[in-house]
A and B are shown apart, each in its own frame.
Chain A
Amino acid sequence: MTVEDARRVLGARVLIGEEYLDQEVGTACGSDMMSDVLAFSKDHSILLTGLCNPQVIRTAEMLDIVCIIFVRGKKPDEKTLELARKTGLVIMETGHRMFSACGMLYEAGLRGGAI
């Protein structure tokens, strides 16, 4: 699926990176703990999180993640968004909770990747 497909599944709102929505995405991970994302992520293209600070963007940048979806209606502050703009990420937000958002994407064909 593409980032746009993921957006449609969740009814998510794009905050940044409207121009990158046609990128292909195969796997995703969901966590509020960036330490764990760094430790366990393997070539994931989407990060779902409820954590809103600039280190979420940095973590995604280091892992070549292409899209961050903020769940539970969380909205990153301007500092975080500004950093995201510089790194060329797609940033979206959805009102769905973490479990639901992950489940909806899984049902639509997105997978967790290798363990």
Chain B
Amino acid sequence: MGDVITLNYTVKPDDFTRAGEASSNVKNTLKQLGIPPAAIRKVSIALYEGEINMVIHARGGEITVEVSPEEIRMVLADVGPGIPDIELAMKEGYSTAPEEIRSLGFGAGMGLSNMKKYSDSMDIQTELGVGTTISMVVRVM
């Protein structure tokens, strides 16, 4: 196992116009580190979906990304309302996003399923009223 580079970000709540800054920064950093484009694409989409979710549903949160030559590990932790039914939330098309968010182009109910699709493994820890922590790993081929 080679060196691990850790990146930390705070996602601000209710600032929809700035959502995606962390994902953009991670993407550029991975490019500079010479990570293969296929892995960068997976990380970018999965992380961006997660970041948007944090802004929409969870009053922001903390993102930690660990980059090693073998894998990219992402942890998104928030102190939001928690997810009452993970299975339902994972269903494509199911969304609890308000109408206002839909008018901004999000809330189609694809976020969580997309995060699972673009990561090689995903784990969700959630507790109602306490928060949600989502861990995703993308392997570097």
Contacts and interface: CB of A to CB of B under 8 A. Distances in A.
In terms of DSSP, what is the predominant structure of the interface of chain A? helix
A29 interface: no
B105 interface: yes
Q: Which 6 A-B pairs have the closest CB atoms?
A: A35-B108, A58-B20, A34-B105, A39-B110, A62-B44, A35-B110
Given A36-B110, A38-B110, A58 B48 contact: yes
Contacts of B19: 55, 58
Contacts of B106: 33-35, 55
Contacts, number: 73
Contacts of A55: 16-17, 19-20, 52, 104-106
A17 interface: no
In terms of DSSP, what is the predominant structure of the interface of chain B? helix
Interface residues of A, number: 21
Contacts of A34: 105-106
Contacts of A35: 105-111, 114
Interface of A: 32-36, 38-39, 49, 51, 53-56, 58-59, 61-64, 79, 87
Interface string B79-103: 0000000000000100000000010
Given A33-B105, A35-B107, A58 B45 contact: no
